[in-house]
Amino acid sequence: MEQEIHLFIIWENGRVHEKAVLDDIKLNFEIMKVYGITWSPYQVANNFTRFYGEKLPKNSHKAQHCGSGEFLLIIVRDNNPRYEKRDTSKGIKLVNSNMFDAKARYREITGGGHRIHSTNDIKELRHDLVLLLGISLADFEKEHASQNDTNDVVLLKKDLSGTNGWVNFDELFYVLNECCEYLVLRNVENVNLEYFSKNKGDVDLLVKDREETLYVLGDLESIDKNAGHMHVDVSKQLILFEVYETRQNLFPEEFERELFESKKMMGSIYHPNEMLTFLGLVYHAFILNRNLSKKHKYRLITFAERLKIFSDKSIDESTLFQSLIDYFVIKGYGFIPPNDNTIYFNKRKEILGSFQRNPKRKSLLSLKLSKVIKYSQNRRRIIFTVLSPFRNIFSMKINLPRMYSIVILVGTKNL
């Protein structure tokens, strides 16, 4: 197996043992670069949150345990990488066992816990490197192909990329390309600051991992609210991003798979090829909207003329929609409502022969009922809430011996 670049972090509270850790690293890896990094005190919580991809508030246990001061980032080359299965925090995974086992040793040296971080595979390395240093793996390899600085520590005062907003779309997508699998579904040619300063609009992303993407983009307030969209600061403009996850039937899964397999780049942005972009826009305009808008119709006709799809016939609403139906028939794709009930699905008569029911999508009645009747489970407590939008009228708690306690609420009340 070829050499691999990886990284270790000795967080501030582990640095009392940094000599022992560094001595072991030198025995087992080739040190390429060492950085001493300090985050802004008021951004420590946000940096930890985005780095680990989980909500970590100010003075969280993680921050107190690891320390919020200067930490050591060690970039290493593993000249003999081995991949084996290990029990990780995300279950049994295939990881670089040299790195994983070294991390376990160093955590023991530093007193246990998580005062040492390391990358388990190249995907994690690309994510961590570009967030910490703002550089892709490919560009780091170019810059440091023959450099091995084992003694000099480069001192940086730097928050994660995007923590204080993005300089421009180039920086944003440079980072996103290292961290996430995504596609810009529509209007990729207009993803630029000039267009958004003059027009209302949004960036529609289809991603493999929505939560991961949201943490990278950085609107932590929207993540807290579990919002379907987020506002991202790009050059001091708030740009609306709609982020959809695959396997949620925004499109049929087979079509989503084809979109990713066809992906290409415009500048630094990944998008489906032109024909599939066109068909995705037809799907969006006809199936995910109640009526075909003038804006969508104009865009589709212009797109079709450029691709010369209907050179032998006039382009109208019927021919545009029929092009999607014909393609789905050839591919054997069906039309299925999205899992998310907030997304409108137009069950047009033309698709009834290829319509597939989605058992994960709630009926209109159950959706309305879910707003007034709620169920939740917290450790060993089950809570049933009726008429949740109203103030508490009645509450009752039933304790079952050696089992769960059951709480019944009419109206809401904090217990």
pLDDT score at 406: 77
In a domain, 376, yes or no: yes
In terms of domains, do 116 and 236 share one? Answer: no
The pLDDT tens digits along the chain (415 residues) read 689 999 999 999 999 999 999 999 999 999 999 999 999 999 999 999 999 998 888 889 999 999 999 999 999 999 999 999 999 888 899 999 999 999 999 999 999 999 999 999 999 999 999 999 999 999 999 998 765 555 689 999 999 999 999 999 999 999 999 999 999 999 999 999 999 999 888 999 999 999 999 999 998 777 766 666 889 999 999 999 999 999 999 999 999 999 999 999 999 999 999 999 999 999 999 999 999 999 999 999 999 999 998 877 789 999 999 999 999 999 999 999 999 988 999 999 999 999 999 998 876 666 566 566 676 665 567 776 776 666 666 777 777 766 667 777 777 644 4
For 169-223, the DSSP string reads HHHHHHHHHHH--EEE-S-GGG-SHHHHHHS--EEEEEES-HHHHHHHH--HHHH
Of 122, 139, 157, which closes a domain?
157
- Do residues 336 and 249 make contact, with C-beta atoms less than 8 angstroms apart? yes
For 260-314, the DSSP string reads HHT-EEETTEEE--HHHHHHHHHHHHHHSSSS--HHHHHHHHHHHHHHTTTTTS-
In a domain, 264, yes or no: no
In terms of domains, do 188 and 147 share one? Answer: no
Question: What's the DSSP call for residue 166?
Answer: B
In terms of domains, do 151 and 193 share one? Answer: no
| Longest CA span, the chain | 76
Three-state secondary structure call for residue 149: coil
In a domain, 58, yes or no: yes
Of 361, 376, 402, which closes a domain?
361
In terms of domains, do 333 and 395 share one? Answer: no
In a domain, 134, yes or no: yes
Of 195, 229, 256, which closes a domain?
256
In a domain, 143, yes or no: yes
In terms of domains, do 24 and 146 share one? Answer: yes
In a domain, 285, yes or no: yes
In terms of domains, do 17 and 115 share one? Answer: yes
Supply the range of the domain harboring residue 251. 165-256
- Do residues 314 and 373 make contact, with C-beta atoms less than 8 angstroms apart? no
Cβ within 8 Å of residue 10, ≥6 positions away:
17, 18, 21, 71, 72, 74, 106, 110, 115, 116
- Kindly report the pTM of this predicted structure: 0.85
Number of domains observed in the structure of the chain: 4
pLDDT in tens, 259-299: 999 999 999 999 999 999 999 999 999 999 999 999 999 99
In terms of domains, do 63 and 171 share one? Answer: no
Q: Which two tokens stand for residue 78?
A: 């593993």
In terms of domains, do 11 and 132 share one? Answer: yes
What CATH number should be reported for the domain holding residue 28?
3.30.70.141
CA 228 to chain centroid: 13
pLDDT score at 386: 75
For 13-62, the DSSP string reads GGGGGHHHHHHHHHHHSEEEEEEEEE--GGGHHHHHHHHHTS---TT-HH
- Cα separation, 301 vs 309, in Å, equals 10
- Do residues 377 and 383 make contact, with C-beta atoms less than 8 angstroms apart? yes
Q: Which two tokens stand for residue 198?
A: 């003059």
- Cα separation, 228 vs 244, in Å, equals 8
pLDDT score at 415: 42
In terms of domains, do 56 and 148 share one? Answer: yes
In a domain, 235, yes or no: yes
In terms of domains, do 404 and 337 share one? Answer: no
In a domain, 242, yes or no: yes
pLDDT score at 412: 66
In terms of domains, do 43 and 117 share one? Answer: yes
In terms of domains, do 200 and 338 share one? Answer: no
- Cα separation, 283 vs 344, in Å, equals 12
